[in-house]
Amino acid sequence: MKSLIRGALLIIIAAAVLMIVNAQLAKSGAQAGGNTLTVYNWGEYIDPDLIKQFEKETGINVIYETFDSNEGMMGKIEQGGTSYDITVPSEYMVEMMRKKDLLIPLDYSKIPNMKNIDPYFEDLPFDPKNKYSIPYFWGTLGIAYNPSLLEGQTFESWDDVWDPSLKQEVVLVDSAREVIGMGLNSLGYSLNSTDPRELREATDKLKTLSPNIKAVIGDEVTQMMMNNEAAVSLIWSGQAADMMSENEDITYVVPEEGSNLWFDNIVIPRTVKNIDGAYKFIDFMLRPEVAAQNADYVGYSTPNLKALDFMDPEVTSDERYYPDEEARGHLEVYKDLGLEMLGFYNELFLEFKMDMK
């Protein structure tokens, strides 16, 4: 009988211990104290040498944690119990976090290196006057293709993807706004369309693409393109850069109708513990030499104008990564459309995927 009570107690204790462990894990960076800085960033999104350099210069110990989706990152910040000092959301997520009051307004007197940022990338609609965020990297969405596997097809227009000769050749990223966005772009509609009629039209057009589609997958796209398994893919410029560094046959293009222009941005979330350290880190990352070295390592485009002088001119003059102002005019930044609309996009995307047999 006693052993049974013990058994019951054991389960209650186990549950309690699990809860405590969970709480402890959640505040992982919390041993923080004065001299640590917890950076919460995408994987492979910073040159590790720069973290070492920052630690050496300032004596601040950096804890680097990674996430793989904006939504997952926001979830952890919203829950609280964490002590992230810096994080790097995409533009629509900055908007969402701002609305949820999860960000701290930046004090620019502590970030003198802000002057290095290209004014073109300042004061964007998702964060007027850069009150909460500073662009970290930017890029586009376009088509990576391998001419050696194709018979001379080019992709000046989105409609070229519908070419009947590309049967079973096209790989799409498994992401609703990107794929529905391709349909919208090809019809000349806005990427931020909330008009059900336009979205329906885009979905119907995408359904006619199904004979050309090989698969709709996630990050595996990069590997497949590198290994010549796929010839054409809808992909972000940074991943296209990864492909090209491994497989020289591949090239990347943004079709002329326009596409998505995206930004990942440094912000200080509400969970911050070491705010001085956070400012030091931001200012450090905005130094031209540092930003240049980081861009070299990561392979995405830097919004740091001064940094371009420290980089290989072959890269910075490459229209695929640094399109000129005219080409940029066709690009559109995602707006936060609200959860209802995001749900509608995803339902259409599901419908499109189910139609793809």
Among 29, 216, 244, 249, binds another protein (CB under 8 A): 216
- Shortest Cβ 94–another protein spacing (Å): 17
Distance CA 224, CA 171 (A): 9
Using the rule CB under 8 A, is 343 a contact of another protein?
A: yes
Cα dihedral 231, 237, 242, 248 in deg (nearest 10): 50
- Site track for another protein across 228-257, x = CB under 8 A: xx----------------------------
Question: Does residue 219 bind another protein (CB under 8 A)?
Answer: no
Distance of CA 312 to the CA centre of its chain: 24
4 sits near another protein (criterion: CB under 8 A): yes
CB 304, CB 291: distance < 8 Å: yes
Compute the least distance from the CB of residue 7 to another protein, in Å. Answer: 4
Which range, of 43-51, 282-290, 314-322, 340-348, touches another protein by CB under 8 A? 340-348
204 binds another protein (CB under 8 A): no
Give phi and psi for 213, each to the nearest 5: -85, 130
**Rounded Cα gap, residues 280 and 256, in angstroms:** 40
d(C-alpha 270, C-alpha 101), whole Å? 8
Chosen residue from 34, 59, 72, 125 binding another protein by CB under 8 A: 72
Question: What 3-state DSSP class applies to 319?
Answer: coil
DSSP lists the bridge partners of residue 90 as 264
Binding segment (CB under 8 A) for another protein, from list 6-14, 40-48, 266-274, 277-285: 6-14
Q: Contact between 275 and another protein (CB under 8 A)?
A: no
**Judged by CB, which is closer to another protein: 101, or 340?**
340
Q: Residue 47: count other Cβ atoms within 10 Å of its Cβ.
A: 16
Given a contact cutoff of 8 angstroms between Cβ atoms, the answer to whether 94 and 126 are in contact is yes
Cross-strand bridge partners of residue 42 = 67
What minimum distance in Å lies between the beta carbon of 256 and another protein?
Answer: 28
Please report where in the chains the tokens 């994080």 appear, as a residue: 87
Which listed range, 100-108, 191-199, 221-229, 316-324, lies at the site for another protein (CB under 8 A)? Answer: 221-229
| DSSP reduced 3-state for 299 | coil
In angstroms, the CA 118 to CA 130 distance is 13
- Asked if 207 interacts with another protein (CB under 8 A), we say no
Q: What is d(CA 146, CA 239) in angstroms, rounded to the nearest whole number?
A: 14
**354 lies in the binding site for another protein (CB under 8 A):** yes
Q: What is the nearest approach in angstroms of another protein to the Cβ of residue 354?
A: 5
Binding of residue 15 to another protein (CB under 8 A): yes
Q: Least separation, in Å, of the C-beta of 212 and another protein?
A: 13
**Contact call for residue 66 and another protein (CB under 8 A):** no
Over its C-alpha atoms, the chain yields an Rg (Å, rounded) of 23
- Which residues contribute to the site for another protein (CB under 8 A)? 1, 4-5, 7-8, 10-12, 15, 69, 71-72, 168, 171, 174-176, 214-218, 220, 224, 227-229, 339-340, 342-343, 346-347, 350-351, 353-354, 356-357
